[in-house]
Structure 1
């Protein structure tokens, strides 16, 4: 199934070109807590749940995502380990956003927006440590 963006999905349409589309079958781990984050994702269809301590007795669902939410961004921008596990119960279709693609899009952006994104990224990093 190909999902065409709606007018309100303009940001998704603008990054769709040149991105890898990935499909995960039911009961798949998209990424695991502790892995180095090299890709962020945009959920196109299906379900994704973000878990802390996935697969342990202390497992806790943090959030359930709906299209077109983005996830895995913090680890990608910070070059850090994943703080949680992303899992799909019923399967999902995603757009994969690599670090190089993100940097390319930021270089094309207005200088103020680049500053803003850099500032917010550093601020999130500071609050996460």
Structure 2
């Protein structure tokens, strides 16, 4: 079981992970900025930005679904990488009711992320 967290620096515009791939790590931003985006109908739709102290990539670790979006460094960005074992060790300490709620929330967030990306594409088409 790997319980160590490690630090990595991503250069500007580096893709950290891609939508659809399995998630085995989560990231905490130490410095810099990460853009989270989806691809819909060949268009890139930005759905969020994560700055210092923020976490991203955690959803795929918790619910074992593929990554719902892609992430890339907007500028040079340092992150602490947290492995699945370490996250699960912490989740196991939480009461079962909390874990059920977290999983339900993740399902809702995934659905809202997909709807937001679709709505953005529709709005962009309407402006053309």
Would you say 1:33 and 2:19 are equivalent positions?
yes
C-alpha distance 125-106 of structure 1, shift in aligned 2 (>3 A): closer
C-alpha distance 23-77 of structure 1, shift in aligned 2 (>3 A): same
Match of 2:28 in 1: 42
> Does the aligned pair in 1 maintain the 2:62–2:103 contact within 8 Å?
no
d(CA) in 2 for partners of 1:61, 1:93: 20
Would you say 1:102 and 2:83 are equivalent positions?
no
Structure 2 alignment gaps of length 5 or more: 112-128
CA offsets, 1:71-115, max 9 Å, x none? 1111111111111010112121111111101122234x3xxx332
Structure 1 alignment gaps of length 5 or more: 1-16
TM-score, scaled to structure 1: 0.73
d(CA) in 2 for partners of 1:43, 1:64: 11
Match of 1:11 in 2: none
TM-score, scaled to structure 2: 0.74
Length, aligned pairs only: 108
Match of 1:23 in 2: 9
CA RMSD of aligned residues (A): 2.1
Match of 1:121 in 2: 102
